[in-house]
Amino acid sequence: MSKTEIRVGGLGGQGVILSAQIIGKAASIYDDKEATLIQSFGPEARGSACSAQVTIDTETIGYPYVKNPDVLVVMSPDAYAQFIPTLKPGGWLLYEEDLITLDERVPQGVKAFGIPATRFAEELGRRLVLNIVMVGFFAGVTGLVSYEAITNAVKTSVPKGTEDLNLRALARGYEYGCELARNSSS
């Protein structure tokens, strides 16, 4: 595997930072890869812009900042507008399809995969797990971390007592992502 740069963007309160932490933890602790994490958020906690940068590699990572991600995961229209110009041509765009409408700003050759993550989270009984649905979707579409690793990372990262709900959210996103990835390669 070569170095893969990932940016996760959304709004404060959507679990953007936790999503990135789980991806990095899955790669570095459970898949025996190298990973770095950089996070940033606005001065207000909820409702402001929020993003995190994760780099995954099999080699030591010398520079943790992501300028042009290979994978962009966005959960809000503002994050899409802010970060879509930075996505590498030919990269992967994973987005919350009920909130984001793709337009001409998507770079050439980008593979775009949408998921109704908020709707899936609501069907599971808790809108707040949309970030875990997105994490599962990320793992299913990209294959950058194994399902076992991402499952272990979720179990050890979410609040006690919410593991079952979060694992169901993870599985829902993962299955949807695997299905879309299979259909896009056929």
CATH of the domain at 17: 3.40.920.10
Please tell me the pTM assigned to this model.
Answer: 0.94
User: 91-98 long-range contacts, Cβ below 8 Å, gap at least 24?
Assistant: 92/141, 92/142, 94/134, 94/137, 94/138, 94/141, 94/142, 94/177, 96/130, 96/134
Within a 10 A sphere around the Cβ of 22, how many other Cβ atoms? 32
Which SS3 state, helix, strand or coil, does residue 129 take?
helix
Structural domain of 36:
4-185
Tokens encoding 159: 């609040």
**Residues 146-173, mean pLDDT to the nearest whole number:** 97
Angle at 87 between CA 158 and CA 68, to 5 degrees: 85
| Averaged pLDDT score across all residues of the chain | 94
Number of domains composing the chain: 1
Instruction: Give residue 49's pLDDT band: very low, low, confident or very high (50, 70, 90).
Output: confident
Dihedral sign, CA of 90, 115, 140, 152?
A: positive
Q: What pLDDT score does 184 carry?
A: 87
d(Cα 97, Cα 56) in Å, to the nearest integer?
A: 26
Is the distance from CB of 132 to CB of 170 less than 8 angstroms?
Answer: yes
Is the distance from CB of 20 to CB of 53 less than 8 angstroms?
Answer: yes
pLDDT in tens, 6-47: 999 999 889 999 999 999 999 999 999 999 999 876 554 556
| Helical (H) or strand (E) element with 128 | none
